[in-house]
A and B are shown apart, each in its own frame.
Chain A
Amino acid sequence: MTFRRYLVLGAVMLTASLGDTFLGKGMKDFGPVSVHHLGRLLYAVANPWVIAGILLLLGFFASYLTALSWADLTFVLPSTALGYVVVALLSRFWLHEQISPSRWIGILLIVMGVGFVTLGPSYTDHAPAKVPPLPEAEEVGKR
């Protein structure tokens, strides 16, 4: 794993959590949309928070696909779960929301899970193993 690849994993984590948060904020500003007036959703795209959220989620998908092209799914998914922690910490220290003890335990479990997986290898190599020729076979060939 190179530093650049850790940056891609960081981008997956941050763009997903910030994109969801921005989209949520934009849709709250916009107000509820009735099932009978779904066309009104098109106007939501004019909201700057919704635009920022969509751009961040596009960035998330691009970085997620990039990560999956050189790392296992079982490596990428837990590594990027740190995004849940980022959102919780932002809500605690930026929005001054209260975090219950069970959520702190959840944060601790996610951090431990991410620690476990990132210490191991990121990719399962499926290339067939190169078996060296047996010395007996080489000798037989020479004869």
Chain B
Amino acid sequence: MMAPAWHSALMIATIVFTATAGDVLTASAMRKIGDLDLIRAERGLVGTIYAVTGSIRFLLGVVCMALSFFSLLFAVSNANVSLIAPASASLTFVSNAVAAKFFLHENVDRRRWLAAAFVCCGVGLMAR
């Protein structure tokens, strides 16, 4: 039996929220840690892995990414995959742009809004 519309919307919202939280937390951790190429040149591969995995923000990001993955699995087992997969993938591009502007203070100019919108529509069309 297929899930009702509000149930599907709630599942899509959960996937988008957890995926965006994961991406923003990971990006924030990487910004704080610094250029990994420079860190690897200075401390080697083990030192780089230590620097990344020692960040609480990075670990929280990974937890959110895992939650997003499991909510996607739960959603596709309860609702139509042709709705859940493209809707969550494309909406995540837009929610990431909004979250990056407000939480990471990235310079999301007109060019980046357009890119997010084009990619969002493109992913939606490709997964049909």
Contact = CB atoms under 8 A, between A and B. Distances in A.
B10 interface: no
B108 to A, nearest CB: 5
Contacts of A112: 118, 122
Interface residues of B, number: 39
Interface in A91-131: 100, 102-103, 105-110, 112-114, 116-117, 119-121, 124, 126
A88 interface: yes
A65 B9 CA distance: 30
A103 B125 contact: yes
A78 interface: yes
Interface in B67-93: 93
B126 interface: yes
Contact of A88 (B30, B107, B117, B126): B126
A106 B115 contact: no
Contacts of A22: none
A55 to B, nearest CB: 16
* Interface SS of chain A: helix
A26 to B, nearest CB: 17
Contact of A69 (B36, B93, B104, B118): B36
B126 A107 contact: yes
A84 B116 contact: no
A76 to B, nearest CB: 8
Which of B26, B36, B93, B127 has the most chain A CB atoms inside 10 A of its CB?
B36
Interface of A: 65-66, 68-70, 72-78, 81, 84, 88, 100, 102-103, 105-110, 112-114, 116-117, 119-121, 124, 126
Interface of B: 23-24, 26-27, 30-31, 33-37, 52, 93, 96-97, 100-101, 104-109, 111-112, 114-119, 121-128
26 contacts: A66-B36, A68-B26, A69-B30, A69-B33, A73-B23, A74-B115, A77-B96, A77-B116, A78-B115, A81-B123, A106-B121, A106-B123, A109-B119, A109-B121, A112-B122, A113-B115, A113-B117, A113-B118, A113-B119, A114-B119, A116-B114, A117-B115, A120-B111, A124-B104, A124-B105, A124-B107
